[in-house]
Amino acid sequence: MSNHVYKVVDIVGSSPTSIEEAIETAIEKAGASLHNLQWFEVTETRGHIQDGKVAYYQVSLKVGFTLK
């Protein structure tokens, strides 16, 4: 098994639908420009309230990817 070295970046995803969709959207977008994504960690969850209802969810993530 080879040793892995990871770089970690912070990203934020948002969704009007769910926390899960906010995560998936963020990972999908990050994957378009970052290669070899391996893992993520949710570091913060928050949202926006409008007219007494949740307008959207926002999730901060740390994303790790392997370096070549």
Name residues whose C-beta falls within 8 Å of residue 20's C-beta, 6 or more positions apart in sequence: none
pLDDT given for residue 1 in this prediction: 45
Angle at 61 between CA 28 and CA 56, to 5 degrees: 75
| pTM score of the predicted model | 0.86
Can you give the residue ranges of every domain in the chain?
Answer: 6-66
Q: Which fold has domain 6-66?
A: Dodecin subunit-like (3.30.1660)
Give the residue carrying structure tokens 């420009």: 33
For residue range 8-54, list pLDDT tens digits in order. 999 999 999 999 999 999 999 999 999 999 999 999 999 999 999 99
